């Protein structure tokens, strides 16, 4: 009897937790002295966050506040993909941050090649926006998990369905 074990590698974001983090960041910005009379605001859309502030320095501060709130809520800052900082009206600066849900095909291929290059006796397959890793030994699967945690793929990875 050759039992196989598996787990899924996913990149998912709990939108409710993102909403909570955005609300906490808004509250902190409204209470901070250095943001008094500032046009700084954060707006959560369907799959992106719009951040506007008086200048690039304050915009960076707002982004850092948002990242800190996300970390406190258990969401990796890598779950946000920040665009270019743009000049907006009246000298303000703005940036859009896309919320990354799912693993893109090119990232999935990169992760699969890393798993194959590690020479651990497991198989990895791409399933739409996630990966499934299967193997005969639980120790091999745990070795793959720790190897993926050490590597930086610029996306937030979670491990689910460990069987």
CB contact at 8 A, 98 and 81? yes
Indicate the DSSP class of residue 74: T
Fold of 5-12+102-160: Alpha-Beta Plaits (3.30.70)
45, two tokens: 């859309």
CA 135 vs. chain centroid, Å, equals 27
**Residue 127 has what pLDDT?**
87
33, two tokens: 């002295």
pLDDT digits (tens, 9 = 90+) for 75-94: 888 888 888 988 877 778 88
Residues in contact with 163: Cβ distance below 8 Å, sequence separation at least 6, in sequence order: 5, 6, 7
Q: Answer yes or no: is pLDDT of 69 > 90.
A: yes
Sequence ranges of the domains in the chain: 5-12+102-160, 15-99
Topology alike, domains 5-12+102-160 and 15-99: yes
pTM above 0.85, yes or no: no
**Residue 1 has what pLDDT?**
41
**Residue 65 has what pLDDT?**
93
**Residue 72 has what pLDDT?**
93
Average pLDDT over residues 158-163: 81
Q: Per-residue confidence at 161, pLDDT binned at 50, 70, 90?
A: confident
131, two tokens: 């990966």
Q: Which CATH number fits domain 15-99: 3.30.70.990, 3.40.50.10420, 1.10.150.120, 1.10.10.60?
A: 3.30.70.990
CB contact at 8 A, 5 and 134? yes
CA distance 49 to 97: 5
Length of the chain equals 163
**Residue 23 has what pLDDT?**
93
pLDDT digits (tens, 9 = 90+) for 6-30: 888 888 888 899 999 999 999 999 8
Q: Give percent of the chain with pLDDT exceeding 90.
A: 20
Indicate the DSSP class of residue 100: P
Output the CA–CA distances (angstroms, integers) from residue 9 to 51, 68, 80, 96, 155, in the order listed: 30, 25, 18, 27, 11
CA distance 39 to 36: 9
Average pLDDT over residues 33-52: 88
Mean pLDDT (the chain, rounded): 87
């Amino acid at each position: 009897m050759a039992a196989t074990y598996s787990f899924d590698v996913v990149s998912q974001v709990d939108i409710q937790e993102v909403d909570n983090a955005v609300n906490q960041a808004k509250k902190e910005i409204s209470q901070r002295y250095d943001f008094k009379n500032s046009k700084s605001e954060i707006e959560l859309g369907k799959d992106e966050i719009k951040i506007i502030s008086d200048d690039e320095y304050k915009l960076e501060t707002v982004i850092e506040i948002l990242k800190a709130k996300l970390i406190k809520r258990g969401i990796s800052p890598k779950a946000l993909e920040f665009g270019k900082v743009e000049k907006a009206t009246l000298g303000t600066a703005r940036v859009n941050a896309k919320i990354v849900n799912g693993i893109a095909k090119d990232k999935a291929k990169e992760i699969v090649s890393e798993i194959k290059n590690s020479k651990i006796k497991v198989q990895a397959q791409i399933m739409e926006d996630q990966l499934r890793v299967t193997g005969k030994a639980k120790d091999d699967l745990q070795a793959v998990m720790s190897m993926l945690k050490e590597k930086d793929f610029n996306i937030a990875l979670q491990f689910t369905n460990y069987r």
